[in-house]
Amino acid sequence: MKESMGPDVRPVDETKIGEHDLVFYYSREHRLKKASPRVRSLYENVPKPRFGIFSSLFDTKPKAMLLIVIVVICLLSLFLPFLRGGG
């Protein structure tokens, strides 16, 4: 007995799609060949990002402010007992 399938569900005909017809990779160069010259110039002039611990901590203003606040709180927690005279 054949199960009832919905209108959007069709059985796959494996003879129509072969292994050689499928492409499983993404090529930015291939995509940029079809792009306008203005878009290509945008991609050519972008410097490659460098990874570094300090650049990742200070790359935006909120990250830099958060790091400074954390350092100030740590320094205060270390030196506050000495300032109160209980050291």
At 11 the pLDDT is 62
5 part of a folded domain: no
Place 1 in a pLDDT band, splitting at 50, 70 and 90: very low
**Which two tokens mark 24?**
């499983």
The answer to whether 57 touches 63, Cβ cutoff 8 Å, is yes
67 part of a folded domain: yes
- The residue range of the domain holding 78 is 60-87
pTM for the structure as a whole:
0.41
Alpha-carbon distance of 62 to 49, in angstroms, equals: 20
Q: For 49, which DSSP code?
A: P
Alpha-carbon distance of 76 to 87, in angstroms, equals: 14
The answer to whether 69 touches 75, Cβ cutoff 8 Å, is no
Tens-digit pLDDT profile for residues 17-27? 666 666 667 77
72 part of a folded domain: yes
Tens-digit pLDDT profile for residues 66-87? 999 999 999 999 988 887 776 5
- What is the count of structural domains for the chain? 1
46 part of a folded domain: no
Tens-digit pLDDT profile for residues 49-71? 777 888 888 889 999 999 999 99
